Each structure stands twice: as C-alpha cells, then as structure tokens.
A and B are shown apart, each in its own frame.
Chain A
Amino acid sequence: MSDAKAVADRLVKAKRLNALLTPPKELRKSLNTQIAAARPTGVLYGMPVAVKDNICTLEFTTTCGSRILEGYRSPYEATAVAKLKAAGALIAGKTNCDEFAMGSSTEHSAYGRVLHPLDKTRVPGGSSGGSAALVGAGAVPAALGSETGGSVRQPAAFCGIVGIKPTYGRVSRYGLVAFGSSLDQIGVFGRSVHDAARVLSVISGRDPRDSTCEDRDPLRLPTVPESMQGFVVGLPKEYFPPELDPAVRRACERAIRLMRELGAAVREVSLPHTPYAVPTYYVIAPAEASSNLARYDGVRYGPRFKGAADLRSLYRATRGQGFGPEVRRRILVGTYVLSSGYYDAYYRRAQQMRALIAQDFRNAFDRGVDLLFTPTVPTPAFKAGEKLADPIAMYMSDIFTVTANLAGLPAMSLPIGRVKGLPIGGQLIGQAFLEDEMIEAAYALERVVPATDEA
C-alpha cells in the first residue's frame, strides 16, 4: 500500500519519457481522491495501475492519442477500469499510445512520441508504448494496454517487462475504444509475471455489456510451480527463420534449454500458414477500423475543427484534421478492402486465411502440445524514425504476435535476456482460456531465466 504522493512522485519522475498524458497536478489531485475512496479489502488495494489512453476512464480524459478526441471526457468508464477500482487499485493516469492503437512504435501519437526507458533514441514499441515505458521505468508496478496485433507483447519485449494478452473474450472490451473489434483485447503489463497476472485476474470475467466476452468466471491464478514437469512446449519452426536476429535466437535457445532443464518436453511443430498472418491482419484490422472509426464525425463529441460550413465539410474537416497519417492510411485501406468489387478478393479471403491460421494452432495443440514458445519480436527495440517511412517494415514488427490475435489465443511476453543492453522478449502462446497453464509456465521460466543478462 502506497500513499498518493509517492505514487504521483514516481510517475512525475518519468515525465521525460512522454509516457503519461495526464498533467501532474491533475494526477496528484485524483490520486488523493481515489485513495480516500478505495476499498481497503480489495485484492489490489493501493496498487497504482496506469491505463492506456484508449480505455475509458471517468477520472481523466480519453484521447486515444488522437487530436480528434482532444480533451474528450468519457461519461462512463470501461468495465476493466471499474473492476480495477472495485479491487482497490488506483488509476494512475492515462498513458500515451499510437493514435487509436495503430502502430508498433508509439511514434504515431498526436501528443508526441514515447521514449524507450533505457535508450531515448529508441522506441518503446507500440501501440501501448506509454504503459510499457512507465512499467519499464519502474514508475508503476502494472499498467493496462490493449492489443490488436501485439500492442502489449511487442512493447513488453522492447521494455524488458511482462505483457499478457488474454484469450479473446476473457476480458470485457466495453469501454476499450475499438480498433479491430474481432482482434482487440485489453492486456496487462507488469514488472513481474505475478504483477501482470493478478491485475489480469481482476479485470477478467463476464460482462453482459460485451457480447463477445465469454460468460466465464474470472481467471484463477496458478501457484508458482517447482518445475515444468509434464509441460509439452512446442517450437513453431516458422518463428525461427534464418534471418532472425542472432541475439534474439541466442536468448530463445537459452530459454528453451532452461525449460528443458525444468523438466519440460520440447518439440518442434509447424504452423504452415504463419507467413500469411501479417497480410491477413493488415486486411482485417483496417477493415474493422474503417468502420469503427466512422463515429468520429464531429457531431456528438470531440473538438469542432475550422472550416465546417456544411455537413460534408464538417465531416471532412473533422476527420481530415483530426486523424493522423497512419490512421488515415488504415481507414483508406480498410474502406478499400470492404468496398464493392474488392470484398471477396481481400476481406473474405483474409477471413478464410484467418480460419487456416487458427486451424494451424488447433492442429498443434491437438498433437499434445500444451503451449508454444517463440521470440516475441524478431529484433530488439529499433531506433525512432527508422521505420516511419515504410509502413510494411513497421508492420513486420508484429510478425510473431499477430497470429495469437487472429486465432484469439492467450499469449504473453516475458524478458529472456538482453543484447547490448536492450531487452529481448520470449513469447508463450497458450490454448484458449488456459491462461493459467501459460502463466504457470511463465512463473517457472521467470525464476530461472537471466532476464537482464546479455544473450
């Protein structure tokens, strides 16, 4: 249990990262109010949890890193946030992110880029880069992010922390501003597996307001195991291509060796449709986004931009000036693939490919594999600006993470070593709604892996 001042001080100290969008004064004031109101019996009593700015909160504005929602105060809060508060947690401000969660570097925010906590010339990953950077910098023990294609696991890997994306339908999306609705899940960052897992356990569970949220009890936390005896870990060969960064490969091999030593059986598997995951993702996610972002029309909320003499110019001015270039690009691509004449060639095709990708995973699990281990990202954190001019190079950063979103499976990243001081993440992908098994394995690996050692 921490006092409001100490919580705020730690966050304000990390100001240089540009990770927090909430002004210090407002943050201090709100934390004081929250701590007075928090339920002392809650399982997260007094735990500060920073929240990505695309998750609706009553305490602070919700801008999604976009100009189009500048100053927007949501009149309701996300179910996940309400559950955190009911458990006694403190909402420790809103974190910077790629605009509407579209990006892999948190360079696409209308409020400036977020710096990597260990190297300010590099990106913290994205799109939940603000949340990851704050946890990585030790400013908060845990934070909420959101995932559509890896936006929690990828920045967790870059920032050397734990990031969990639960099974699709495990956590209510009510109040998470939609990007790609069939892919989106709220995820959790923690300094440790336990911090992340206990926050996840609190926010998980049924919610009648989200029709895609499964009618299930909250996740039960496993105990920390002595070994990995009985676990069968699959290594999908498509995730270890020849061009994989050698340091990332070394770190993964070390982690695999450690899992073996813990008693896990390790075997190679194949997920043959993996090469098509990124193109599939970059059809489905923009298609859904083009529709999800249609509501930002300047009529009911958000600022009104100049030059709105008639309705059409209101739309065009709002959306033209309100959305940044990456969002506009994706809206255009998404509109294109849904438009008459292209639907079958792109959208339907991608939906079919998605089914094949999901089937790959089922086949692997059906053959007795409990979970999969892969690198989270092919490289450590890249330099700011490095991939801005080339959208596809940026998209390739998601190559190992998008599959779990497409298949709706739980997956997490945990630190497994460093290269030249930069963290490397290892990914565990579990079976649907078996987060407990995945977390159990992560507990075991976390205890033995030299997370801050050079690989």
Chain B
Amino acid sequence: MSVSREEVLRIAQLAELDVEEEALPTLAEQMSRILDYAAQLSAVPANGTVKVFVPGPDAIRFRTDEVTPSGLAFGPEEFAPDFKEGFFVVPKLGQFE
C-alpha cells in the first residue's frame, strides 16, 4: 500500500479536512489504489523535453484598468453565515495566531 495512515492524516491536515479514526484504513486503502493506478504514468517514456499542454488561449488578455461595478445583486450580509458591522466574522484564530 503506497499511502500510510500517517500520510493520510498529514494530507488531511493540509486540506483542512477532518478524518475520523475509523475511516482511516479505508481511505488509506482507496487512496493507495488510486495513486498506484496513477503511478503507471511513470512507466511511460515521457522525458523532460515534453512540453506541458494547456488548452485555451496561448497568452493572457490584458484587462483595461477601470473600476467597474461589483456585479453583486446583493451584498455579503445576504449570504455570509456571520456578518457584523460590515465585517465577515470568524472564530478567533486559536492555533493560527
């Protein structure tokens, strides 16, 4: 199995996802299968000279520097779960501080 429980936990932490203890073995197993499956890509001779392919325009377009209306049909107070005195409100940072 290519992905350990510890790795699943580390990745879950990076992704800010709670993973329950009992779900860990299945997740590790499924992730391993998916990643092992994806690992067959490395069997193919794609050397460093292969340019990556990105669909869409070849070059970014330059927008004119103009202030435009927000395009919001209603403001954040309508969709925010907690909005006070013009601010989005979130719990204190805790360990983020």
Contacts and interface: CB of A to CB of B under 8 A. Distances in A.
A and B touch in the complex (CB under 8 A): yes
Interface of A: 58, 72-73, 75-76, 168-169, 182, 208, 211-215, 273, 276, 279-280, 282-283, 290, 294, 297-304, 308-317, 319-320, 323, 328-329, 331-333, 335-337, 339, 345-346, 348-359, 391-392, 407-408
B18 A316 contact: yes
Given A214-B57, A304-B82, A316-B17, A279 B95 contact: no
Given A336-B31, A408-B55, 10 more contacts: A168-B55, A212-B56, A310-B91, A310-B95, A316-B16, A319-B17, A323-B17, A329-B34, A349-B42, A352-B52
A282 B50 CA distance: 20
B57 A339 contact: no
Contacts of A282: 34, 37-38
Contact of A351 (B11, B53, B74): B53
Where chain A touches its partner, the secondary structure class is helix
B17 A328 contact: yes
Contact of B96 (A215, A312, A392): A312
Given A215-B61, A310-B95, A314-B91, A331 B15 contact: yes
26 contacts: A76-B72, A213-B56, A279-B41, A298-B81, A298-B90, A300-B79, A310-B93, A316-B16, A316-B17, A316-B18, A319-B17, A320-B18, A329-B31, A333-B34, A339-B11, A346-B39, A346-B41, A351-B52, A351-B53, A352-B50, A355-B53, A356-B46, A356-B50, A358-B55, A392-B34, A407-B55
B57 A308 contact: no
A311 B38 contact: no
Given A214-B57, A283-B38, A73 B30 contact: no
Interface in B59-97: 60-61, 63, 71-76, 78-82, 88, 90-96
A299 B17 contact: no
A336 B79 contact: no
B90 A337 contact: no
A317 B18 contact: yes
Contact of B44 (A276, A329, A333, A407): A276
B94 A310 contact: yes
